[in-house]
Amino acid sequence: IAGITQAPTSQILAAGRRMTLRCTQDMRHNAMYWYRQDLGLGLRLIHYSNTAGTTGKGEVPDGYSVSRANTDDFPLTLASAVPSQTSVYFCASSPGGQNTEAFFGQGTRLTVV
């Protein structure tokens, strides 16, 4: 089934550890995004990529990094996790351009202890 796959589904991580959340799409979409969802705060954009080889900062980029080596993959890395990064992380992709919707993965629930 075409779509977006995120891994892992959930993770408990010790503070200070490094963690990479994986995201793969098979729709050949140009644009990809990482959002975090927190209670009462909705979905906030962390980083995005308009096309392979380019990335940009969203609303809450601090503590996170991304790379876009190819069209399909868009990993999100926490270099040194902190408890405030406990959240549900959603990867999304869109064809790009104007007036297009984004398609979301099923999410990764991350708990930093």
Partner 1 sequence: DQQVKQNSPSLSVQEGRISILNCDYTNSMFDYFLWYKKYPAEGPTFLISISSIKDKNEDGRFTVFLNKSAKHLSLHIVPSQPGDSAVYFCAASAATQGGSEKLVFGKGTKLTVNP
Is residue 111 a contact residue for partner 1 (CB under 8 A)? no
Task: Report whether 21 contacts 47 (CB < 8 A).
Answer: no
Residue span 19-58 as binding mask against partner 1, x where in contact by CB under 8 A, dash where not: -----------xx-x-x----xxxxxx--x-x-----x-x
- Separation of alpha carbons 96 and 9, rounded Å: 26
Nearest distance, CB of residue 112 and partner 1, angstroms: 19
When asked if residue 98 is in the footprint of partner 1 (CB under 8 A), the reply is: yes
Q: Where does this chain touch partner 1 (CB under 8 A) — which range of 17-25, 61-69, 74-82, 92-100? A: 92-100
Q: Which CA distances in Å does 112 have to 15, 19, 54, 86, 92?
A: 6, 10, 29, 5, 23
Which position among 97, 110, 111, 112 is part of the footprint of partner 1 (CB under 8 A)? 97
